Amino acid sequence: MAHIQLSLMYIHTLASFQNLASIFAQFAVNLLFSEDFLLSFGQKYKDVEPTLKIKEVDGLELVKKFSEEMESMLRRKVEAVERLVEAAEDADLNHEFNSSLAFDYYNSLLINEKDENDNYVELGDEFILEPNEHFNNLLVNTTYSDVQLPTNVYNKDPGILNGVYMSEALNPIFVDNFQRDPTLTWQYFGSSTGFFRLYPGIKWMPDENGVISFDCRNRGWYIQAATSPKDIIIVVDISGSMKGLLMTIAKHTIITILDTLGENDFVNIIAYNDYVHYVEPCFKGILVQADRDNREHFKQLVDELQAKGVGTVNKAVLESFKILREFREAGQGGLCNQAIMLITDGAVEDYESVFEKYNWPDRKVRVFTYLIGREVTFAQNVKWIACNNKGYYTQISTLADVQENVMEYLHVLSRPMVINHDHDIIWTEAYMDTQSLLLMTTVAMPVFSKKNETRSHGILLGVVGSDVPLRELLKLAPRYKLGVHGYAFLNTNNGYILSHPDLRPLYREGKKLKPKPNYNSVDLSEVEWEDQDEILRTAMINGETGYLAMDVKVPVDKGKRVLFLTNDYFFTDISGTPFSLGVVLSRGHGEYILLGNTSVEEGLHDLLQPDLTLANEWIYCITDIDPDHRKLSQLEAMIRFLTGEEPDLECDEDLVQEVLFDAVVTAPMEAYWTALALNMSDKTEQEVETAFLGTRAGLMRSLLYVGSEKLSNRQFLTLGDKESIFTMDHFPLWYRRAAEHPPGSFIYSITSEEGSGNPRLSTTEKEGDGENKRVTHSPLQNGLVSPVESLGTLSLTFLSSLSPFITLSVQTGKFFGEVDGSVMTQLLNMGMFRQVTMYDYQAMCKMPYHHHSGARPLLSCRPALCLSVPQSSFLTSSLFAIAAHKHKKHDMLQPCDTEYPVFVYETTIKETNGLIECGDCQKMFVAQQIANSNLLLLVTDATCDCSIFPPVLLEAKECDRMRSQKLRRRPDTCHAFHPEVQ
């Protein structure tokens, strides 16, 4: 078939086209392997069939078991934090403040630094650092912690020195915690004075400007542990007197306040001069959730503010009280603390009547005032407002003053909790570790002064916390129990995703992977978007236990293809946390588990073959507790366990038994592949590059038929190609696609070698109900089939039937609609393909450049185009998709929502043909499905110009990001007021 000579003289009728299609359709039967390929493997299963057992999976029992194990694991982290809290409070109780205290400590910025005389600098003594695999191979000291301070905090301030000295008592507790629970990661104490004690100790590096900007008091875990949920309205003076530096300080103050808010808080910003402006007109008269989207959006709008006119504070304050009262009475918002943050350079009019009418005598709303500038003429007035409304007054003269002065309001809000000594345990939303780019959650607790003489003052000493990698939680929901399409996921009380296999928190900017701006505020409804009535979302947010079935469309292969599945969702809460766990089992593949029976001796023999590997991200044996085990691969660990070399290893016995069974059943494949290689003619170029097989237990066998220098894609089946291997999140793409086809059929796909453009044919074969897959990869060269067949004036194209991507053609790998819009349009009209609309609520789009003034609304208030939810006044997203900040480049990527088409083959139509009227000529075509494959053969007339038909494109269409406020569950505790707090 390498060279096919046909002449137009033999092709005069449509029947000739059909005959040609039938001839070419025969090639699939012998394209890569004979029937023996299927029979040899299937026969082995038949041999062991009498020993097999099939167990039905109980989804509710499974999700409850996973939840209990996760609760137990998280409880150990809580206990570690509780021990630190107790140690810190006792240390403070026994410490007397000494204003002249002098001692050296390990400053994380200065450790191991020497001066010109080769002496260690002050606070920079020798601090041994060694790489540690448990901490992402960072250089750490696991015997001691060290201390980090922001650049604007003096490292020898008496308050700092006393706090650091007192917190030295935490060192033995850090070490003891880590010994008790070797899965612990970072442990730390963030002080209210600004220092941060971290274990294990590390070397802290400044940014490119030589500045340490990290301040523990700005972190979500600190703020959530120190205060209860907050409804905040920021009121900023933008009158003419605020021009220049004062306006710059005011903007920085607003941004710093926004940084103290989290997803349990609600916020809005009102600017005033001659009249009241909402900085975001779409948010008029409401509060919005202070998630990352909205905070970043507000920051962009604040930067647009311009000072002009005359300031009258009364109307702005009046508007603020109305909003807060409406939310309070309607049971909306944070349902705890309410506050107004007034930022101004002075207040002169009669404002007392507003407070008297709307806030006295109960003073349910605290008012915090920030006097901007050095002028003290109006200081008394601004201070009166705060002191008569249970708030706090501060003056901010320079940019350097902003951070410390803003933090004061947190101390005021924390006092009721501190006086009561309510040690609430908080768990944060997902956040990304900048070193490993792994998603984490933090468990944190506040630390109080227990001294009797200070108890009534409610002194918050700081917050203790520990990080928990979310991957560690998902290890407790092993993939082999969930089936080929199954998965587990976690979400928060606000409906945001903690972990989900379809969460895409990173995007590529140039050569760098960076977190998306809204990576930790992706809603459950944005990944499980088929849940249009939000039944699943509502139940999980309410912490219910239950079951739901849904027909879903699952995108695979980076959205090019779609799988149509019926999924069963099982869900429950994780006790003691604001999290809920969901487990998804697909009908068919997730309903049953195949249990085989084989001896350890027989299985071990076949496990030791060189062609076999295991999914290294799966937990066959726990290797991260004992440091001596951490360098073992999962296969090495299992073999040591089975041979008795490491009897103390804790292994999953069910999974080990599955692996042993699969190893025995798949053992004949090595001999078969070797025989196939020997039968290949040495005179012809190799037809097959790689053959490999995968099983539900994560076992893979592979055979390389050519030297690595001849591989058309050297990245295939490597750790760098996550789509092709078993991971914690997904079975391989080839496995998932093959699972949806009848046993014995072949799945073909096409990829191109990066850089060369040489096409490579990939074939997957499904092997019966055992869900084992075999795949071969072949270069499309002479001896097999050419990617470019010249048939006179005919054009031959092989299309993948899952979606019309060209497999063999001049345009290999392209979407067929781009190449020939006329035929693709006709195939759609005839029903051979149908278009399915998909949605991506985690897309990144280039933003158009729009210049606008502060008085012009940045965003359109149009209703949602993509989401079938009504527009309401309570908005939770920031509408990033409409416009970009004027100072950002127009080609910057920002979060957006898109809808895009996917084209699916209708399997009931095996063949079709037709004529297309193209003006001066008629274009004939015939399409026929190739038996036992996912290929269609398409033959068309290449001489007729049908360019009058536009191409059919796969372009995504951007949608507005406006969404209605969704159901959320407020935190269980609230500490808003205490009789002893004025």
Burial class (CB in 10 A: 0-12, 13-18, 19+), 69: middle
pLDDT at residue number 887: 40
Amino acid at 884: A
Q: Which residues pair with 693 in a beta bridge?
A: 701, 774
pLDDT at residue number 462: 95
For 169, which DSSP code? Answer: G
668-679 and 35-48 helices, crossing angle to 10°: 160
pTM (predicted TM-score): 0.86
Matching residue, tokens 């707090």: 981
pLDDT at residue number 74: 96
**For residue 887, what are the CA distances in angstroms to 474, 722, 740, 866, 957?**
41, 37, 49, 29, 25
Euclidean distance between CA atoms 444 and 428, whole angstroms? 8
Euclidean distance between CA atoms 707 and 704, whole angstroms? 7
pLDDT at residue number 951: 92
Backbone angles phi and psi of 107, in degrees to 5: -90, 120
Q: Which helix (H) or strand (E) segment is 657 a member of?
A: helix 653-666
The answer to whether 280 and 269 have CB atoms below 8 angstroms apart is: yes
**For residue 103, what are the CA distances in angstroms to 199, 231, 236, 460, 751?**
20, 43, 44, 24, 64
pLDDT at residue number 802: 55
Euclidean distance between CA atoms 298 and 301, whole angstroms? 5
Q: 452: which residues sit within 8 A by CB, 6+ positions away?
A: none
How is residue 802 written in tokens?
């899952």
Angle, vertex CA 71, rays to CA 69 and CA 77, nearest 5: 110
Euclidean distance between CA atoms 524 and 966, whole angstroms? 11
Neighbours of 356 (CB within 10 A): 11
pLDDT at residue number 682: 54
**For residue 848, what are the CA distances in angstroms to 799, 845, 881?**
37, 9, 9
Amino acid at 862: R
Evaluate the omega torsion of the peptide bond into residue 578 and state whether it is cis, within 30 degrees of 0. Answer: no
Low-confidence ranges of the chain (pLDDT < 70): 1-44, 347-350, 453-457, 680-687, 706-720, 750-812, 848-891, 960-965, 978-982
Short-list 851, 939, 979, 864, CA closest to 22: 939
Evaluate the omega torsion of the peptide bond into residue 172 and state whether it is cis, within 30 degrees of 0. Answer: no
Amino acid at 621: C
pLDDT at residue number 864: 32
Euclidean distance between CA atoms 33 and 11, whole angstroms? 32
How is residue 59 written in tokens?
């989804």
For 805, which DSSP code? Answer: B
The answer to whether 129 and 203 have CB atoms below 8 angstroms apart is: yes
End-to-end CA distance of the chain: 90
Burial class (CB in 10 A: 0-12, 13-18, 19+), 56: exposed
Backbone angles phi and psi of 327, in degrees to 5: -65, -40
pLDDT at residue number 734: 85
pLDDT at residue number 828: 94
Euclidean distance between CA atoms 662 and 635, whole angstroms? 14
Backbone angles phi and psi of 79, in degrees to 5: -60, -35
Q: What is the DSSP string of 879-908?
A: -TTS---TTS-TT-EEEEEEEEEEEEE-TT
Short-list 330, 323, 320, CA closest to 368: 320
The answer to whether 8 and 942 have CB atoms below 8 angstroms apart is: no
Give all strands of the β-sheet with 772-779 in edge-to-edge order.
Answer: 612-614, 699-704, 690-694, 772-779, 759-767, 746-752
The answer to whether 200 and 184 have CB atoms below 8 angstroms apart is: no
Euclidean distance between CA atoms 530 and 934, whole angstroms? 27
The 3-state DSSP class for residue 199 equals: strand
The answer to whether 832 and 909 have CB atoms below 8 angstroms apart is: yes
Backbone angles phi and psi of 568, in degrees to 5: -105, 125
Q: pLDDT by residue (tens digit) across 187-209? A: 999 999 999 999 999 999 988 88
Dihedral sign of CA atoms 701, 705, 708, 711 in order:
negative
Short-list 733, 659, 742, CA closest to 701: 659
**What top-level class would CATH report for the domain 229-420?**
alpha beta
Could you please state the CATH topology (level 3) that the domain comprising 472-591 is classified under: Beta-Lactamase (3.30.450)
Q: Which residues pair with 837 in a beta bridge?
A: 901
